[in-house]
Amino acid sequence: MRRYLVVLEYDGTQFHGSQVQRLQRTVQGEVEAALERLDGAPVRTVFAGRTDAGVHAQGQVVGFDLGRERNPAELAAALSGLMPGDVAAKAAAVVPAGFSPRYWAEARRYRYRLLLARVRAPLRERYAFRVGAEIDPEPMRKAAERYRGQHDFGAFGRPPQGTSTVRTLTRLDLEVRDDALDVVVEGDAFLRRMVRRLIGTLVDVGRGRTDWREAASAVDDPQNNAVGPALPAQGLTLEGVAYGRERLGLGTGRWWSSEPLVAGTDVTLARGVRK
């Protein structure tokens, strides 16, 4: 048996989330169906993290075992060919037998796209949420600064398992350009719907509906009622998941799944590292 890491990109619009669910179309369901056709037997996969219905991914990571060894580049190409057009395998590599996409992850990065235009933009709104032009990013940045670091984010969501709602945000930045505003969130892990509630709270601050000081105090009180609504799923993309290259057997330093696995190679690897 060989353990494989595969990087997935998908348009979440027509998926009922990433995690397999009975009688629902999911990303995991499509991946496992393709792997079964490829390997001739059921293959169980593990994802780096769950994405909700409608959420997109640029660098989702999945791990699984195959009974027959395959060239990573050929594996990625074959998987993409067997899956529908809204999901693709971007890269693959052989990794150590104990590799866990979830528990080996050191960080995760999300991007939420906001459109500031007053007029509808049907082509862009598939991957963004239009909030209109009346939004001030300065108080949003003040609240965002307070959210960075380790806090109890219980006011923003529920843990996927366990009871702790303490999380660490290493990055929460606003990127403004023309008629768009992107919010980039990076941290060790996230509560369910935490990112979309964080952005919803910041949008309320930017619109003047909530004072930034009141919004910032949400990390001091899990029962805080200043938290905004979870914004629609289509604006959110899982950009990447970070791992230590040395632990994966892929060199040194940190690797983000939105980057090539080996510096200087094509996105889909021509080779894997065996352990």
User: Among all residues, which ones are annotated catalytic?
Assistant: 52
How close are the terminal C-alpha atoms of the chain, in Å? 11
User: Does residue 37 contact residue 82 with C-beta atoms inside 8 Å?
Assistant: yes
Burial 124-136, CB ≥16 within 10 A → b, else e: ebebbbbbeeebe
Q: Please list the helix, strand and coil fractions of the chain in percent, rounded to the nearest 5, in that order.
A: 25, 30, 45
Tokens 């990065």, located at residue: 109
Burial 154-177, CB ≥16 within 10 A → b, else e: bbbbebeeeeebebebeebebeee
User: Does residue 169 contact residue 192 with C-beta atoms inside 8 Å?
Assistant: no
E runs forming strands in 19-119: 46-47, 56-66, 87-95, 107-115
Encoded tokens for 219: 């990390």
Burial 59-78, CB ≥16 within 10 A → b, else e: bbbbbbebeeebebbebbeb
Among candidates 119, 1, 125, which has minimal Cα distance to 56? Answer: 125
In degrees and rounded to multiples of 5, residue 46 shows phi and psi of: -125, 130
Gap between the Cα atoms of 171 and 49, Å rounded: 18
